[in-house]
Amino acid sequence: MKAVETKSPPTVKTDLFGGHFRSFRKDATAFITKMSKLGDVSTFKLGNIPVFLINHPDLIRDLLITSHHKFVKGRALQQAKRLVGEGLLTSEKEFHLRQRRMIQPSFHRARIAEYGKTMIGFGEKMADEWCDGETIDIDKEMMRLTLWIVGKTLFGANVEDDANEVGQAMTTIISMFNFILLPYSEYLEKLPLPPVKKLKNARKTLDEVIYKIIETRRSSGEDNGDLLSMLLNAQDEETGGTMTDKQVRDECLTLFLAGHETTANAMAWTFYLLSQNTQAEAKFHAELDEILGENAVTPDVYGKLKYTEQVFAESMRLFPPAWTIGRLTTETHEFGGYEVPPKSLVLASQYVMHRDPRFWEQPDEFLPERWEKLSIKEAGNKFIYFPFSKGVRSCIGEGFAWMEGVLLLAVLGRKWKLKLAEKQKIALQAMVTLRPKHGIKMILEKR
């Protein structure tokens, strides 16, 4: 058995105050990439929290699969409980497994195919709204589009109207997510600050609206085919139990947030990358023309758009919406010969692993063709590609997200070509998700 090192993993010089918090906050992806160069295990401090970055597929497999029982969610998602309650994203252990068993049928392939019709419908609506020569912020447009889709598939609600209560409140909740991740935000939330008041009002509105919808659905007994109906009808296969209204509310908010923000980011980065790689863009449009012709986009073309799927996969390799995974140790564990004590934060970064030159040829290049040689499943099994995480806490909506991304690319890409606007500064904002810091302004060109 390999002896456990008593010394600490390699690190870099701390900031003047707060350990490495300032450097991490200033440019998280650059900082974590720098740390990854120190070896398979490195360490730094965020305030008084010891952090260990693991940077090898075998160690990541250990974290997410083999020894997952020794870890709980990191601080970011623990803090998120104040927004979304005890949903799949934030719950732990047996409660999480029970909720996942109950929700899983909602994401079976046949159900997702039905959601595909909604994805296409709203995609067509946006494609028809766009005007030739218009400059848009593709980040904001994709946020708007995925909000429509998740609102309809989850609640059966049309949230495209800016005056819609659900849409307004959800937009506020999303914008406040970064606020709750600030140090001592749990104490700031007790102060009469404008952001705090805005957050509380949004939560109150959402609770009123969602509980009213739940009550109406329960009274009617109707199954509208949306996720809310499935949550209300879900039963635990082992106990036969159903969800309380509070549990349904928490899962609704969790699915709304997770299904809205991440896909929007992935779509925005995909259009940006296509605009910067003309050969890939031409091949993408050629596939759409060949497969679709003059026919309307339908859910059944999803499996036929191979290159479009490769484009989406490659985009999420370079700019994974969930760019890092954090876990807190509940007991001492060993990674790569180093002892990690309890209450330490362990990070595994998709952003870093997806660009590691040990496992990827030309790792910083946008090359959708690489997925002709290496399947998405194979890369996932090797733990060098995990945009939706892996193991018992992998994203339950992964199939939904893949179909949504490919179908929306098809609907929008068959009608439009997007060109990056001049003087558009591209930078990363790595918070809960990997967002474009300054948006991405693009010029629409009719195809």
> Considering the domain boundaries, does residue 13 fall inside one?
no
Residue 150: the pLDDT is: 86
Backbone angles phi, psi at 240, to 5 degrees: 80, 0
Residue 53: the pLDDT is: 98
User: And the tokens for 367?
Assistant: 């090359």
Give the range of the structural domain holding residue 92, as residue numbers without chain letter. 21-446
Single-letter code of the amino acid located at 322: A
> Considering the domain boundaries, does residue 14 fall inside one?
no
Domains: count for the chain: 1
Residue 413: the pLDDT is: 97
- Note the pLDDT tens digit of each residue in 188-237: 777 777 777 877 777 787 787 778 878 888 888 777 777 888 788 877 76
Residue 225: the pLDDT is: 73
Residue 300: the pLDDT is: 92
Residue 190: the pLDDT is: 76
> Considering the domain boundaries, does residue 8 fall inside one?
no
Residue 97: the pLDDT is: 72
Residue 120: the pLDDT is: 97
* Domain containing residue 59: CATH number: 1.10.630.10
> Considering the domain boundaries, does residue 234 fall inside one?
yes
Residue 91: the pLDDT is: 59
Residue 93: the pLDDT is: 65
Binned average pLDDT, 10 residues per bin, the chain of 447 residues: 68 90 91 97 92 97 95 68 64 68 71 87 97 96 90 77 62 65 66 77 77 82 79 75 82 78 94 98 98 93 96 98 92 96 95 98 97 96 96 83 96 97 92 88 97
CA 2 to chain centre: 37
- Note the pLDDT tens digit of each residue in 71-115: 987 666 566 666 666 665 665 667 667 777 777 776 767 777 788
> Considering the domain boundaries, does residue 107 fall inside one?
yes
391 vs 383: CA distance, rounded Å? 11
Beta bridge partners of 51: 44, 345
412 vs 402: CA distance, rounded Å? 16
Among 40, 35, 114, smallest CA distance to 337 is for 40
Residue 173: the pLDDT is: 67
> Considering the domain boundaries, does residue 6 fall inside one?
no
Radius of gyration of the chain (CA): 22
> Considering the domain boundaries, does residue 87 fall inside one?
yes
Single-letter code of the amino acid located at 264: A
* Three-state secondary structure call for residue 424: coil
Backbone angles phi, psi at 45, to 5 degrees: -125, 135
237 vs 240: CA distance, rounded Å? 6
